[in-house]
Structure 1
Amino acid sequence: MEEGTLDVVVGFFGLIEDLTWGWALVPLLVVFGVFITVMSGFVQFEYFGRMFRVLSSKNQTADPNAVSARAALLVSVGGRVGGGNIAGVAVAITLGGPGAVFWMWATALIGMATSLVECSLAQLFKRSQGDGTYRGGPASYILHGLGRQYRWLAVLYAVCLIAAFAFGFNAFQGNTFAGAAKDSLGIDRIWTALPLTVIAGFIVYGGIRRIAKAADVIVPIMALGYLGMTIVIILINITEIPGVLWTILANAFGLEEVVGGGMGAAIAQGMRRGLFSNEAGLGSAPNVAATADVRHPISQGITQSFSVFIDTIVICSCTAFIILLSDVYVPGATDIDGVVLTQQSLVSHVGEWAQYFLTFAILLFTFSSIMYNYYLGENALAVMTTNPVSVHVLRIAVMAIVFLGATAPGATAVFFFSDPLMGLLALVNLMAIIMLFPIVLRILADFREQLKHGVARPVLSPEKFPDLDIDPTAWKHGK
């Protein structure tokens, strides 16, 4: 591609990013999140206690071929939790001050409702694959919720999803881990890239069942290990916790100004990084939510709402406290890399070995994200073609991109289109869930009514909603 043509392409995607992330998208997601929260009767708080039930073995599916609600939760947590929880939080604090952490929390609490809505829709309009598994997501609820005349919108969404997640973000994940391994362990990128690519290939060729089984092992180790390290650091610095909390609140509301821009910078960075991290409303998690074998769509919506809570309120807060309790963070200093700030903060607390711990954590975060990103691409591909060869082409392409991202330090610059396309697919998803929100209120009313009449585990009966294009074979519990 000639330099002039490349400049035009880069400029075009830059314009898309300015019109989405740079201007309209974050306020739209926040405003719509508040709207959903109010109109649903603060549903994310109403069923907060119920979210933890998914962790119990009593609520797992009896079908050995199906993906359980817990497995779908762990896959989505593994996808949401990634480099953004380590590097992104550090960047938010660097550019927005400690107050950005508060606005990340606020965005997550609102985003929990948005995620509940989009993931409930994905469940409602999912399609049975005939082998005990299900497929669905925004493309599916556009086709079956809005109608076939919107197929072009579903295809646009699918193309953006493949390009942004399966290709762009997988290159970033490989690059993040290979860079961390080189910096902390001195391992050349090629020796990181080869095993990472091979293991990724083994998982993606196993499909959603193998991805779910891998996530069942990786994600609890990943999340609990990082949480455990943070608890140790908090206990070591327990007397400083009140001061850190006050700094977060004071900076969030402009009582203390740590960086240029004050409260405005804290709000902008906190909300943007929070949405980037937990992906609420972006239309990615619903693809995984649709795979779960559950009795009622709202049940999986509640579960995926919990996923947002784990990602931002738990994991992102871990990184924030690691940084703010350290003496490495210097308010106003903006010349330090996000991963390096987190790494140096860990070392200052517990010693040099912590950099190896963080490298291992990044490996788990990277690997879980690669699995998740690949499945999003596979699911989107099914909207455009059912040719089995295309799936093999996608799998090989993803493996190649992981390898490319890990081996070349500047490889991620090639995928400059990822953030703009994620912004575009988020707008498509947002338009769809706005139009389909009345349907969510109907199934939410059905869920509440069953609970009111003593049904411990509500079930969806498709015959109650004859006007909706629901696949009855996907709801055997409701028969």
Structure 2
Amino acid sequence: MLNNILSAVNDWMYTYLLLFLLVGTGIYFTIRTRFVQLRLLKESFHVLKEKAGEENGKKQVSSFQALMISTASRVGTGNIAGIATAIAAGGAGAVFWMWLMAVIGGASAFIESTLAQVYKVKDKEEFRGGPSYYMEKALGKRWLGILFSVLLIICFAYGFNGLQSFNMSSSLEYYIPGYSDTVYPMLVGLILAVGTAFVIFGGVHRIGFITSVLVPIMAGAYLLIGLYTVITNITELPKVFSMIFSQAFDFKAFAGGMAGSAVVIGIKRGLFSNEAGMGSAPNASASASVSHPAKQGMVQVLSVFIDTLLICSATAMMLLLSGVQGESGVLDGIPFVQKAISANVGNWGIHFITLSIFAFAFSSLIGNYYYAESNILFIKNNKKLLFIFRITCLLAVFFGAQADFSMMWNIADITMGCMATVNILVILVLGNTAMKVLKDYEKQKKEGKNPVFKAKDVGIENTECW
């Protein structure tokens, strides 16, 4: 009964609210910034090469490390299980809407991450920030910041991390008959909780190191398998693209139920995957040591593109080129991917997917935790509270490995939707501030300078670090 209620709320939220809010905001900022996500794409690669400064002999988080923390959170099982669920439920057309969400959402990602940099704060040698911080400093509404923090903590520390843990655990069903009725899910949960504890008790620098090493390796290997699948099935590619575009605009399917259409499912899974406009990635953006806030805004656009246009597309091609037919509630999620990859490259592909699931999901656990910790510190910077919070995060990981699939997706979707609604409304209000920052950056670039930001020069007040 509870799951039926959650499903109904979930469908209403994405069909009648977020569909228009997300797409509308992305289009609005795309036009206002004159396609900043495409226009300054080349520039974002140059920014990645910048080295971070040092504070009291301790190296700060670099732009690249901040990108990897946010990419670690984005690049999770949503890129594998989420895409399989979307295609099984909404057909191949859902892939088109995920692509469109990434391109349009890149502008929203630029705005929210630039704002996070402008209003970040300094905590000893490290920077912290995110939507809660710009809600308090720019709008003067601490209560709204606390509300957002609570939503993010529920979403990431408990909803998403429980889901990542579940997906890692369920990937072992192929190897162990009757897996869910055995003691193994509990053992997997325990191992994951211990591994997560090792990283999160080590601080932001250990998180930055783990993600900046693990993410590029796992993403690179996964993309190579995707590329191999495309090359070996190159003659089938036109047919697959035809299927994606024709099913994306299947208006007959819309009439049958908007909530189950390729549009809504594609946007929902696209948001779960790339998080553009949702207010999560700005927490990582704020941690970077850069000379100008717009630089980290551009870098976060890259993270959205890496996530959806590269990694999600790799999964989609593996599934659609396999000839295996997914079906919602029958063959979806991890089992669908495992069967498809086996059809593409043989049985060893199943083991590769299992390994990928563990690598992707574990890095997401770490990235998600980092976001949640930043928001706990916003509510109250207290060591005892932080310790208790870390223990509850580990419990979420432990119990997530033994949870119900559909309920975990519903909880994650609803809390994500609430977060996105609050954040989008706020960035629409603060859009002018981000535009001032962008104009200042472009003006300095035209003058041949390496842009350095000074808040008073552009009339922005109440900043701590500029």
TM-score when normalising by structure 1: 0.90
- Matched position secondary structure for 1:270: helix
Whether the 8 Å contact between 2:93 and 2:262 is mirrored in structure 1 is yes
What is the CA–CA distance in structure 2 between the aligned matches of 1:79 and 1:134, rounded to whole Å?
Answer: 18
What is the CA–CA distance in structure 1 between the aligned matches of 2:210 and 2:437, rounded to whole Å?
Answer: 32
Whether the 8 Å contact between 2:26 and 2:108 is mirrored in structure 1 is yes
Structure 1 residues 317, 151: CA separation in 2 closer, same or farther (over 3 Å shift)? same
What residue number does 1:428 align with? 422
What is the CA–CA distance in structure 1 between the aligned matches of 2:386 and 2:259, rounded to whole Å?
Answer: 47
- Matched position secondary structure for 1:183: coil
What is the CA–CA distance in structure 2 between the aligned matches of 1:396 and 1:411, rounded to whole Å?
Answer: 23
Kindly state the Cα deviation for residue 419 of structure 1 after the two structures are TM-superposed.
Answer: 2.7
Per-residue CA deviations over 1:255-292 (Å, capped at 9, x if unaligned) read 99899669992222222211121111111111111101
What residue number does 2:321 align with? 325
Q: What letter matches 1:420 in structure 2? A: I
What is the CA–CA distance in structure 1 between the aligned matches of 2:96 and 2:413, rounded to whole Å?
Answer: 24
Q: What letter matches 1:339 in structure 2? A: I
Kindly state the Cα deviation for residue 53 of structure 1 after the two structures are TM-superposed.
Answer: 2.6
Structure 1 residues 300, 21: CA separation in 2 closer, same or farther (over 3 Å shift)? same
What residue number does 1:179 align with? 170
Whether the 8 Å contact between 1:185 and 1:356 is mirrored in structure 2 is no
What CA RMSD, in Å, does the superposition of the two structures yield over aligned residues? 2.6
Whether the 8 Å contact between 2:15 and 2:264 is mirrored in structure 1 is no
- Correspondence for 1:342 among 316, 324, 337: 337
Identity %: 38
What residue number does 1:77 align with? 71
What residue number does 2:25 align with? 32
Whether the 8 Å contact between 1:96 and 1:262 is mirrored in structure 2 is no
Q: What letter matches 1:194 in structure 2? A: L
What is the CA–CA distance in structure 2 between the aligned matches of 1:254 and 1:404, rounded to whole Å?
Answer: 40
- Matched position secondary structure for 1:134: strand
Structure 1 residues 29, 238: CA separation in 2 closer, same or farther (over 3 Å shift)? same
2:46 corresponds to 1:50? no
What is the CA–CA distance in structure 2 between the aligned matches of 1:435 and 1:231, rounded to whole Å?
Answer: 42
What is the CA–CA distance in structure 1 between the aligned matches of 2:35 and 2:189, rounded to whole Å?
Answer: 45
What is the CA–CA distance in structure 1 between the aligned matches of 2:134 and 2:380, rounded to whole Å?
Answer: 17
- Correspondence for 1:283 among 272, 279, 284: 279
Q: What letter matches 2:154 in structure 1? A: A
Structure 1 residues 412, 258: CA separation in 2 closer, same or farther (over 3 Å shift)? closer
Q: Note the 1:124-273 alignment, pairs <5 A.
A: 124-131=118-125, 133-147=126-140, 150-184=141-175, 188-254=184-250, 265-273=261-269
Per-residue CA deviations over 1:153-188 (Å, capped at 9, x if unaligned) read 111111111111111211111111011124336782
Q: Note the 1:257-406 alignment, pairs <5 A.
A: 265-329=261-325, 335-406=330-401
What is the CA–CA distance in structure 1 between the aligned matches of 2:382 and 2:267, rounded to whole Å?
Answer: 40
Q: Which moved more, 1:258-267 or 1:180-189?
A: 258-267
Structure 1 residues 259, 327: CA separation in 2 closer, same or farther (over 3 Å shift)? farther
Structure 1 unmatched runs, 5+: 1-5
- Matched position secondary structure for 1:281: coil
TM-score when normalising by structure 2: 0.92
Whether the 8 Å contact between 2:98 and 2:270 is mirrored in structure 1 is yes
Whether the 8 Å contact between 1:10 and 1:416 is mirrored in structure 2 is no
What is the CA–CA distance in structure 1 between the aligned matches of 2:119 and 2:170, rounded to whole Å?
Answer: 41
2:106 corresponds to 1:112? yes
What is the CA–CA distance in structure 1 between the aligned matches of 2:251 and 2:396, rounded to whole Å?
Answer: 46
What is the CA–CA distance in structure 1 between the aligned matches of 2:18 and 2:258, rounded to whole Å?
Answer: 22
Whether the 8 Å contact between 1:179 and 1:409 is mirrored in structure 2 is no
Q: What letter matches 2:127 in structure 1? A: Y
- Matched position secondary structure for 2:175: helix
Structure 1 residues 96, 434: CA separation in 2 closer, same or farther (over 3 Å shift)? same
Q: What letter matches 2:382 in structure 1? A: N
Instruction: Spell out structure 1 runs of 4+ moving beyond 6 A.
Output: 255-264
Q: Which moved more, 1:349-358 or 1:462-471?
A: 462-471
Q: What letter matches 1:233 in structure 2? A: T
What is the CA–CA distance in structure 2 between the aligned matches of 1:262 and 1:348, rounded to whole Å?
Answer: 32
2:456 corresponds to 1:463? yes
Structure 1 residues 22, 260: CA separation in 2 closer, same or farther (over 3 Å shift)? closer
What residue number does 1:92 align with? 86
Kindly state the Cα deviation for residue 47 of structure 1 after the two structures are TM-superposed.
Answer: 0.6
Q: What letter matches 2:186 in structure 1? A: I
2:410 corresponds to 1:410? no
Whether the 8 Å contact between 1:254 and 1:262 is mirrored in structure 2 is no
Whether the 8 Å contact between 2:81 and 2:334 is mirrored in structure 1 is yes
What is the CA–CA distance in structure 1 between the aligned matches of 2:84 and 2:395, rounded to whole Å?
Answer: 30
What residue number does 1:3 align with? none
Q: Which moved more, 1:241-250 or 1:105-114?
A: 241-250
May I ask how many residue pairs the two structures share in their alignment? 458
Whether the 8 Å contact between 2:85 and 2:328 is mirrored in structure 1 is no
What is the CA–CA distance in structure 1 between the aligned matches of 2:443 and 2:260, rounded to whole Å?
Answer: 43
What is the CA–CA distance in structure 2 between the aligned matches of 1:381 and 1:48, rounded to whole Å?
Answer: 33
Whether the 8 Å contact between 1:169 and 1:418 is mirrored in structure 2 is yes
Structure 1 residues 168, 254: CA separation in 2 closer, same or farther (over 3 Å shift)? closer
Whether the 8 Å contact between 1:33 and 1:111 is mirrored in structure 2 is yes
Q: Which moved more, 1:428-437 or 1:189-198?
A: 189-198
Kindly state the Cα deviation for residue 62 of structure 1 after the two structures are TM-superposed.
Answer: 3.6
Whether the 8 Å contact between 1:184 and 1:355 is mirrored in structure 2 is no
Whether the 8 Å contact between 2:166 and 2:403 is mirrored in structure 1 is yes
Structure 2 unmatched runs, 5+: none
Whether the 8 Å contact between 2:84 and 2:316 is mirrored in structure 1 is yes
Per-residue CA deviations over 1:97-156 (Å, capped at 9, x if unaligned) read 22221111111100000000000000010001131x100000000001111xx1111111
Q: What letter matches 1:348 in structure 2? A: A
- Matched position secondary structure for 1:181: coil
Q: What letter matches 1:31 in structure 2? A: G
- Matched position secondary structure for 1:348: helix
Structure 1 residues 194, 386: CA separation in 2 closer, same or farther (over 3 Å shift)? same
